[in-house]
Each structure stands twice: as structure tokens, then as C-alpha cells.
Structure 1
Amino acid sequence: MAGFELQRIALPTGVDLDVATAGDPAAPAIVLLHGFPESHRTWRHQIPALATRFFVIAPDQRGFARSSKPEGVEHYTTDKPVADLLALATHFGKDRFTLVGHDWGGAVAWMAALQHPNRIERLIIVNAPHPFVFQKSLFDDMDQRKASQYIRFFRDTSIDQGLTGAGLEKFFGSTFAKHLTRAVAGEDKAAYLDEWSQPGAMSAMLNWYRASAVQVPAMDETPNRPAFLDAPFPPITQPTLVIWGTQDKALLPVQLDGLDAVVPDLSVRKIDAGHFVTWEAPEEVSAAMLDWLD
């Protein structure tokens, strides 16, 4: 299932990205941002559906698959992939576009929408928490705090040396697979292992967690509460669709609580699937996107 062209694009932000494109380049643009630990393949079922009406742009973000992997945690703070996103859209001559993000791609999408409303026309978020709601839940909801302890583990750089060879198989089975609601094997599993085995890939992907400013307290910790959690937070101004796989074990339904307070023009579509809903329930996700985009 291809249905798209994969090309290498050098950006003025200093990275080269592999980018899947499909559809008429003259059509309105829609940019699809994947999360951890994936690539443009996150959207393999949505790209053909969206390409009937849009020019689809789906990059492998910095640090992932065969895209550039600059060394150093400082290269993975959220402002860096936001800059990549805007430069990529400009490369294709798109001043305004619809933006879609899953997981870490959703974090980039939320930030881009907040900081660059002149570029982002509409927003679709797939199982990615709003930054304010997420940080608040990590202080106020102990179930979400418990579900997010893996982030503390991912921030430990000592794990990187074990994530090669057989270590990748172990990561697939013990860490990745527990977030799936259906088995991944054959071509799909081989594609994951191939992307993860690229030189520096696992460290680069995990650096997204290490560069994040999100505080994840330990279960027995009572840290000082960030002041911004009790102050007004800037609203998302774009029409926004949130698609949520309700069986997500890492991001619990609390992420939808109070979301309308910071996203005034909000639509929510819940789907009976896990975190990787784009390929666990592909037809439902594509239909939800296209219905809302109408």
C-alpha cells in the first residue's frame, strides 16, 4: 500500500527529511505529523483517502527513520520540529494549511497552532494531549501520572546502549506491543525494526522525551505546582477535531476533560481503539477526518 511518493528534502533548519507526498500539488495542503516510535507510515491508510481532496505532506520528523538525527538533546525541543514544519510547508509554497498530528506529532501541532495561527488553518489531533491539560493531569490525576511513568524511564540515557539488535526485539515486545490492541507482524513489524535500527535512531527518538519541558512527578513525589496551571492559558483559535482511541493505555480519557475550555471551537470523535488508532481503526479515522473537513 504505497499511494505516495517519498522524497528527500533539505530544510533551512539544518535537517534533511524524508517526506511522503500525494495528491495534486495545487490543492489545499494537509500536513500529517507522526509520533513515537513511528514515521510517515503512521498515516499509510489515511494518505490515499486524503489525497483525493488535498495535497498531502507527511514527513519523517527529525530523529526518526532515515531523516536527519542531529546529536544532542537540545535539537529536539519542540520549537525545532515546529520550525521544520513551517519550513516544509514553505518549501511546497503553502502559506496556510490544515495540520494533523498524532502522539509527539500532536504536541508539535498544538504548539504550532498556538504560536503560528497565521499558518495553521485547521487542526486535527489524534491521541495527543493538549499541553496544559496534560501537565495539569500529571499533577492532579494519579492514574494519569502512573500511566506516564514510562516517560521518566525514557529520559534515562543509560537505556540507549541496550536498544540495538536483540534489544530492539525486546523493546518491540515489552514496551511497544503493550500499547497495541492488535498484533503487528510481517511487513509492518519489519518496517518498525528497520527504522529503529538506523544509526542513532533510538537515541534521537528518545531525545524528544528528554528535551520536553513536561514535568512527570514520581508516584511518591509532591513537587511544587507550576504557576501556569492556575493561570489563564491561551486558547487554540483554529477549528479543531480531536480523534481519540478510547483504549489508549498511556493517555487516559482525562485528557479530554476540560479541553473545550482551551479549545473553544472543538469537535471530538471517540473511536474504540488504542493509542495507534490511525492503523488500528483506519477506515473510521479517515472517515472522521473527511467528514469534519467537509
Structure 2
Amino acid sequence: MTRFTRLPLSTGVTLNVAEAGRADGPALLFLHGFPESHRTWRGLVPLLEDRYRLIMPDQRGFGGSDTPQDPADYSTDKLVADLFALVDHLGLDDFTLVGHDWGGAVSWAAALRGDPRLKRLVIVNAPHPFVFQKSLIEDADQRAASQYITAFRDPGFEQAVEAMGWDKFFSKSFTPHVDLTAISPQEKADYLAEWSKPGVFTAMLNWYRGAPVTVPPREADVPLPAYLQRPFPAITVPTLVVWGMRDKALLPLQLDGLDSLIDDLTIVRVPDAGHFLPWEKPAAVAAPLRSFLDAHQGS
């Protein structure tokens, strides 16, 4: 049974936090991405709740959590601060961090911080910041696939979605990535209810507007910034990356070069799934996650 609590954090926001599983089990903290909420993990709960404590917040700007309207409130440092404020609030001293999409971006940044309480990292279809920015400059296919970020940053995008209607936006969001029959009518209704709450959709888009990533126009000639030409800090905690290889937004080339950026890396490729792997094929995430945790107990 999933339990919900609204937790006020020291960062000034209140997050809606879902919990399931064993209160005395090893803590797994899950961070979702766009355009979702804690429900990203709905398929994993019955596969993991027998053994683990599952902590699944709606991140700021999403679902039932607070929705600051200033893009500056979605800078990476503030999002990572939310995560560790939640860890403080819950009194965790040993946890595994699991992130998908934007949740993965926060997870990469959190692991780079080196907090000793974060013992293991699991990434699902979320690019490493170094690899992603480099690919946006050097790879034409990834640059083309990421032009939606520029569209989301447009100040008129909310009005464009309201004009097209939530149903059409729902179809445009998911049709390229997953068979819509995989989303039940009730789940669709839940998505639309979350997105259409006052202030929520602008807050969701602010993740893109507040992000430091640069997405050049398709044909622009952009030099590599200096920080991409220097050694990048390594991830030192054991890391599992699970990737749906049919991802059309974050191409499988995001796996290239990870072994030089992570000290202890395991990659699992899922050939018959796309970007929304956690609920499209939850068993394909849960099985390697269990094996990874078994192999790194006490890490």
C-alpha cells in the first residue's frame, strides 16, 4: 500500500512524497522526470515492495508538490538541495538513488557532490551531463532530437498547449515513445489532472528554462566550451545504468564514454523499450536493480 505525506523542507518547498514497501528495508529514493510524478514508478512498486523502502517524491514543480513560478528556482543546485533536504528530513544515512529523465539529471549531479549517505546510483534513460552537452554540440542526430527543449523554453509554450488542448498534448508527448494502449484511461486522466492544475505546467517547463544545458540550433556551428575539454569529475559510487534502446529523445549514444566517467559501472540495455522504460517494462528495471543491490550491499 502506498502512503502519502506532504513534507516541508528546509529549502522552502513542500514536497508530496509517496512511500511504499518495508519501513525497515534498505532505502531506495526515486526521482521522476518530465512530464510525470511519483507515478513514474507505479510498475516497480509491486516488484520491489517486499524487500525495500521505496521513497518516491513529486519533485518541485510536479504533481502534488509546490510549484515555484520563477525559472531561477529550478537551477541544478536548488534541485539537488531539495533531494538532500528530503534525505535530512527522513533521517537517511544509507540510500540508493534511482533517477529517470530529469530525475536522472538531479541524480547525476547529486552523485558528483560526494555526499557519503548516497551509497549507490541507478540511472534509467537519463544522460550524464558531460556526455549529453558534448553530444548536443557534436552529434547532429542528438541535436535534432533535442530541439523540443528549445520549444519548451519559449515563453508562449503554455498558451500553445492550452490552444491545442491537453488531450492532444498527451498524444504528442507519448505517441513517439510508447504504444498509447499501455496507458490506461485512469492513468491518462491522472496525467491530465496533474498538468492542468493552476501553475503546474509552467513549473514543469521551468525545469527546461532553468537548466544550464545549451541546445544549439540544428545547423549552427558551435565550439566545445572549455569545461568539455578538461577532465570531468568521476562518479565514485557503484552505478547501474538501465537504458531503453528505442529512446527517440535521448539516443543510445548517451552510453558512449560512460566507462571513463564512472569508477564502478554496470550497463543494462533493454532492446525492446523506449524512454518511459520504468512503466513500459518495469520488470526490465526491477530485475537488474535487485541484482545490482545484492552485489553492492554495504557499498
TM-score above 0.5: yes
Counterpart position of 2:203? 204
CA contact (8 A) 1:7 1:19 kept: yes
CA contact (8 A) 1:181 1:273 kept: no
Distance 2:190 2:242 in 1: 25
CA contact (8 A) 1:117 1:237 kept: no
Larger deviation: 219-228 or 136-145?
A: 219-228
Q: CA deviation at 1:12?
A: 1.2
Aligned partner of residue 255 in structure 1, secondary structure = helix
Distance 1:268 1:242 in 2: 5
Q: CA deviation at 1:165?
A: 7.8
Change (3 A) 1:266 1:182: farther
Deviation readout 1:57-84 (Å, 9 max, x if unpaired): 1000000012100120010111112111
Counterpart position of 1:162? 160
Q: CA deviation at 1:180?
A: 1.9
| Equivalent in 44, 68, 71 of residue 73 of structure 1 | 71
What is the correspondence of 1:278-293 to structure 2 with a 5 Å cutoff? 278-293=278-293
Structure 2: any 5+ residue segments left out of the alignment? 295-299
CA contact (8 A) 1:164 1:197 kept: no
1:226 aligns with 2:225: yes
Distance 1:25 1:94 in 2: 12
Q: CA deviation at 1:26?
A: 2.9
Distance 1:157 1:144 in 2: 24
Q: CA deviation at 1:22?
A: 1.5
Q: What amino acid maps onto 1:252 in structure 2? A: L
Distance 2:222 2:100 in 1: 29
Distance 1:231 1:181 in 2: 41
Q: What amino acid maps onto 2:172 in structure 1? A: S
Distance 1:71 1:147 in 2: 27
Distance 1:233 1:161 in 2: 39
Counterpart position of 2:244? 245
Q: What amino acid maps onto 1:287 in structure 2? A: A
C-alpha RMSD over aligned residues: 1.4
Deviation readout 1:62-121 (Å, 9 max, x if unpaired): 000121001200101111121111111111110231000000000000000001331210
Change (3 A) 1:284 1:112: same
Aligned partner of residue 30 in structure 1, secondary structure = strand
Distance 2:67 2:174 in 1: 21
Q: CA deviation at 1:48?
A: 3.0
Distance 1:217 1:119 in 2: 37
Distance 1:112 1:210 in 2: 20
Overall identity of the aligned pairs, in % = 55
Task: Using structure 2 for the length normalisation, give the TM-score.
Answer: 0.94
Q: CA deviation at 1:182?
A: 4.5
Distance 1:147 1:166 in 2: 22
CA contact (8 A) 2:174 2:180 kept: no
Structure 1: any 5+ residue segments left out of the alignment? none
CA contact (8 A) 1:126 1:244 kept: yes
Counterpart position of 2:273? 273
Counterpart position of 2:262? 263
CA contact (8 A) 2:47 2:283 kept: no
CA contact (8 A) 2:101 2:125 kept: yes
Q: May I ask how many residue pairs the two structures share in their alignment?
A: 292
Q: CA deviation at 1:49?
A: 2.4
Distance 2:63 2:162 in 1: 14
Deviation readout 1:176-218 (Å, 9 max, x if unpaired): 3222245324111111101101111111001000111111100
Distance 2:234 2:251 in 1: 22
Distance 2:282 2:23 in 1: 24
